[in-house]
Amino acid sequence: MVDSISESGIITPIIVRPKVSVGYEVISGHRRWEACKELGIESIPARVEYIDDDEATILMVNSNIQREHVLPSEKAFAYKMRMEALKHQGRTTLAQVGPKFSSEKIAAETGDSRNQVKRYIRLTYLIPSILQMVDDGRIAFNPAVEISYMTGEHQTWLKEEMDMCDATPSLVQSRTLKDMSRNGTLTENYLHTLLTEEKPNQRQKFFLNQSDVQ
């Protein structure tokens, strides 16, 4: 981004709002603003919006989600912030009530299903080190959602075992871990056993032609 701005400048204005005291607060375009500061650029195009905290949150979330490349963690926290802002608006404005402040409204605006929105929000319950694995593509989305239901302590155990065994749980295994964590029956020894067992998709397969078999 720094190279792009250095070559072409700011193509799309950032969005700001006036601060209570003096100056402006950046609502959308933080990365562009930081890149300009790194380049020593002191003046950039900006659009000023006169909006409250909830409206600012919604605008920021929408801007982030519309980026071409959005990490799972970014989308997860964006959906969570949007949900909280919409719920807050619903509490403060009596005329605005109903399902539009639920995941259904976010789903209608983003293209993700209602259940998928909820599943993304579940990622915000992962400990940071496991969430980073999701962003890096080292653990699949669906198992990560199941792992998010584990306690923080059990997630820490799991992360240590994943690093030690250089393995991640499958979807079925993740569901088992979620249930055991909820029931209080999960142990570190079981985690090690589970992560070191051979998964069906890891077994080497051999294929022979029917004629060769005959």
Per-residue three-class SS string for 94-153: CCCCCHHHCHHHHHHHHCCCHHHHHHHHHHHHCCHHHHHHHHCCCCCHHHHHHHCCCCHH
Please state, in angstroms and rounded to a whole number, the distance separating the CA atoms of residues 208 and 210.
6
Full strand arrangement of the beta sheet holding 46-48: 24-28, 14-18, 46-48
pTM of full prediction above 0.75:
no
Stretches where the chain sits below pLDDT 70 are 1, 61-69, 88-102, 198-206
- Per-residue pLDDT, 204: 55
- Per-residue pLDDT, 64: 65
Residues in the chain: 214
- Per-residue pLDDT, 212: 81
Instruction: Render pLDDT for 159-175 as a digit per residue (tens, 0 to 9).
Output: 999 999 999 999 999 99
Beta partners for residue 17, in sequence order: 25
Instruction: Render pLDDT for 79-94 as a digit per residue (tens, 0 to 9).
Output: 887 787 777 665 544 4
Instruction: Render pLDDT for 180-209 as a digit per residue (tens, 0 to 9).
Output: 999 999 999 999 999 988 665 555 566 778
- Per-residue pLDDT, 161: 94
